[in-house]
Amino acid sequence: MADYATVADIQSMKRTLSAAEQERAASLIPVVCDIIRYEAEKVGKDFDTMISESPYLASVAKAVTVDVVMRELNTPGTQLPATSYQEAAGGVSQSYSLPNASGRVALWPSDLKALGLKRQQIGALSLWEG
């Protein structure tokens, strides 16, 4: 099973990475790809088969993999898990929002939807049937 993106894809689609970031990205890419496959398996699909049936899905998988890796690379490792924080010195203040505060490698609902692994469902539970 091939990975859906490479470090070169990240650099061409997003930005140039430092040597340390390239090493980290190379470690993260297979993890993200396996998470995509696992999420597909959870909904009864084989993602690699989905790509073979719809080749353009390979580009979507590449884009999602790049986005997830970049979210992880852009999360400061020294910060406490928070979605935002603020610093102030004298009369100047600066606030920050972190893209992936927990640092956990995970797909967002928007990623799952782009991959075709999350759709709205309508369902009901009948309380009268035994």
pLDDT tens-digit readout, 49-79: 999 999 899 999 999 999 999 988 887 665 5
Rounded to whole angstroms, how far apart are CA atoms 30 and 40? Answer: 15
10: number of Cβ within 10 Å: 25
pLDDT given at position 18: 94
Q: Which residues pair with 96 in a beta bridge?
A: 85
pLDDT given at position 97: 67
pLDDT given at position 127: 64
pLDDT given at position 19: 96
pLDDT given at position 5: 97
- What are the residue ranges spanned by the domains of the chain? 1-78+104-119
**Contact by Cβ (8 Å): 86, 96:** yes
pLDDT given at position 91: 83
Residues of the chain with pLDDT under 50: none
Q: Cite the beta strand spans of 76-128 per DSSP E.
A: 84-89, 92-97
Rounded to whole angstroms, how far apart are CA atoms 73 and 30? Answer: 15
